[in-house]
Amino acid sequence: MRRSIFVTCAIVAAGAVLLSGAQKRNAAPSDLLSGIPSGKTRVVDMTYAINDKLPAWPGDDRTFEAKVNATPEKDGYFTRSFWMLEHYGTHMDAPAHFPPGKLFLDQIPVDHFFGPAAVIDVRDDVAKDADYRLTAVRVEKWEALHGRVPPGAIVVLRTGWSSRWPDQARYRNMDANSVMHFPGYFVAAAKLLMSRGVVALGIDTLSIDYGASKDFEVHRTDLPAGLYNLENLANVDQLPEAGAFLIAAPIKLEGGSGGAVRVFAILPNK
């Protein structure tokens, strides 16, 4: 499921946003975007920097490597090559990650990368149960407070698990039987959110399926339906439950089952 990639040059991800597609699905107000240079709009980086010390999926022992190709002292400039797993650090799962999902990373419609954030805070529940899974009832509770989850939304589950990052042992939370314990989604909650027309499910853990899952049933539900997943999100605690707008810009990796993604939240700066 995790196919490695080799990249022989440094990659710079730059997003050029055409809002025409996003405007059809609750686009960010124009004043929110125009307020970024002046500081009226706050931008939250929800992405961990990539290096070789990040918590990885068990069994993924070789995760990231970087090699210096040229130095200022020798060549007058600096470049590196790097190698990494597709599913490492803050990353996006493409639908093709779990067949019969068909879209590879480079084939996901670009307007799905922009949408209002629906942040569901379950930190109190997770503090009591590391194996907590989001229920449909909890989604409905969020809607009672903030209104129906809008079509085109990017849902983010705030579990508080990022407080364990980057301690791999605590982040995996593996027991004596090598079973991981961290929170995720129930299939029923995923299906309810899918019925609302959301484009993605996100979380601040290793997986949208809870750690003890053996069959990745949520992956097998949302990815074949054309959604994508955002995993290992950072700084989720800085977002309101409603009112932020997300931009998720993945590496455009042809044929990728997933890949590194830069995720930004924009919201009024209070």
Which residues are annotated as catalytic? Answer: 97
**Six-digit token string for 162:** 């990022």
CA distance 228 to 223: 6
